[in-house]
Amino acid sequence: MNAYDEYMKGIVQPMREELVNVGFTELTTAEEVDNHIENAKGTSVVVVNSVCGCAAGLARPAVREAVDELEVKPEHLVTVFAGQDREATERMRSYFEEVPPSSPSIAILKDGKLAYFIPREEIEYNEVEEIKEHVKEGIKKVSQS
């Protein structure tokens, strides 16, 4: 690992832990992504994490709060980190090619298939409360389908 990679690893660790500490599983390889998709029965919330400000100030807090407030939790909470775990992120995005790549973003899958998607454009310039409600509505809609 070169000095830049080592530096970035240290910088992003708290950004990774913010989701892992509330129950998200990090998928860091293409194999882990494939395994999740092949075996994920029920609802999966996938956060495409990022170092940007709208991930830190909006997406991660909104998702954390949304999941915490739901009475019926999704079966799976997973995350890939754009710009860090490139192989895993590219593989995850390959499962929802019908939407342009976007980070941060939140995908809600039903039995491994994309059922709901919140792109960066619906995250940045919005309030955490609005995004949280959007996430909760998406999860409820997919879980009930």
> What is the bridge-based pairing of β-strands 76-81 and 43-49?
parallel
15, 52, 58, 139: which one is catalytic?
Answer: 52
Which residue type, as a one-letter code, is found at position 141?
K
54 catalytic residue (yes or no)? yes
Contact 76, 44 (CB under 8 A): yes
Cis-peptide, bond into residue 61, ω within 30° of zero:
no
- Beta strand extents in 4-141 (DSSP E only): 25-26, 43-49, 76-81, 105-110, 113-118
52 catalytic residue (yes or no)? yes
DSSP 95: T
8, 22, 54, 70: which one is catalytic?
Answer: 54
Interior CA angle at 123 toward 49 and 143, to 5°? 75
How many Å separate Cα 127 from the centre of its chain? 18
Tell me which residues are annotated as active site.
52, 54
